[in-house]
Chains A and B, each alone.
Chain A
Amino acid sequence: MTADLVMLTITRIEAHHLADLVGQFVALLDETDASAADPAVARLVPDAYPDDAEAGREFRHATEHELLGRRTADAQRLLSDLTTASALEGDPEPAVEDVVDVALAPDAVRAWLRTLAALRLVIASRLGVDADDDHDHDDPRFAVYDWLGYRLDGLLAAIDGD
């Protein structure tokens, strides 16, 4: 049974930062039911018919609400996994070497991958990343973006390393 679990070892500082980001993400989804209001949320529900406005509207009408609902459910799964692993307990400013193991079942891994990818999309939208080389290394916000990518890539290596 444990063979299916992916063990993610992260520092408690990362866990706190991640929970904070995911909490903001859930709040953003809560307050933005209509995608057009926020370009970052709009990126999560892209236009499926760029050349056919009516078909695009129908597709959006049929899919958007449930899709954003699944985003919220995925994000909450991530928060509950962090809580279950006691990753968010203790000193709010823990020592850098303070690490915690988070055990992820296969369905949790899928929720984590989708949420990490979505957080990157939202942050990229906020940072105005429009091209492959839009990367300002002096902007500290890119450190968060890169860190999410590092964790996403690590999870992928753990499950796709066959």
Chain B
Amino acid sequence: MLAHPELDEDLRIDEAVADDPVWQTVVWNDPVNLMSYVVHVFREYFGFSRDEASRRMLAVHHEGHAVVAEGAREQMELHAQAMHDYGLWATVRRAPR
């Protein structure tokens, strides 16, 4: 058998991803929260610039939802909880492959 170093390297990267899935916090559109309020929440909590916060707010508004954070599951749950504190409708999910 001949080992193929590059192939082994690829395999390890794939395994690392499988062991440590990426999770997302998703904010969903609702007909109640004001656009100005959602922008404020994204700026205050996530520290987004005004432009970035507006871009994500518009994504929520027009596409029905937007991913606002990605990372470890526990962290995404903290973000979702914070969004609920603000009155935003947020969920946690495994990042789609």
Contacts and interface: CB of A to CB of B under 8 A. Distances in A.
A98 B32 CA distance: 30
Contacts of B55: none
A24 to B, nearest CB: 17
Given A120-B32, A134-B31, A156-B40, A70 B85 contact: yes
A113 B31 CA distance: 17
Contacts of B86: 114, 117
B21 interface: no
A45 to B, nearest CB: 6
Contacts of B84: 44-46, 48, 63, 67
B72 to A, nearest CB: 15
A51 interface: yes
Contacts, number: 72
Given A49-B91, A59-B92, A114 B85 contact: yes
A46 B30 CA distance: 12
Contact of B31 (A49, A131, A160): A131
A48 B90 contact: yes
A51 B36 contact: no
Interface residues of A, number: 33
Contact of A121 (B36, B39, B87, B92): B87
A89 interface: no
A146 to B, nearest CB: 11
B89 interface: yes
A130 interface: yes
A59 B87 CA distance: 16
Contacts of B40: 113, 156, 159-160
Contacts of A130: 31
B91 A47 contact: yes
22 contacts: A45-B84, A46-B84, A46-B91, A48-B80, A48-B91, A48-B92, A50-B91, A59-B80, A63-B81, A63-B84, A67-B85, A113-B40, A114-B87, A117-B37, A120-B33, A120-B87, A121-B32, A129-B32, A130-B31, A132-B31, A149-B34, A156-B37
